[in-house]
Structure 1
């Protein structure tokens, strides 16, 4: 099962790519802290997207 548990909206495409590269370098614990700061229950956020 796949869940969308975290996302950020960037101002520009380049800014989003820069942020993605930054986060990919983080260790797993930092990534989990990022998720739990905004989504402590790890709820599926897919339905909250306004595409």
Structure 2
């Protein structure tokens, strides 16, 4: 359930974050940071499980 919630929140921020929060991201650095944080969270989650 939490993984689904995290995935939905990531997709919403990635797709609509600039409209909702009003950030300017012409170079894509904010979206790169979001992707990196999501991937690192997945890696840390797997490492914590096993």
Q: What's the TM-score, normalizing by structure 1?
A: 0.31
Q: Which has the higher contact order (CA 8 A, sep 6+)?
A: 1
Greater percentage in helix: 2
Q: What's the TM-score, normalizing by structure 2?
A: 0.31
Task: Indicate the structure (1 or 2) with the bigger Cα radius of gyration.
Answer: 2
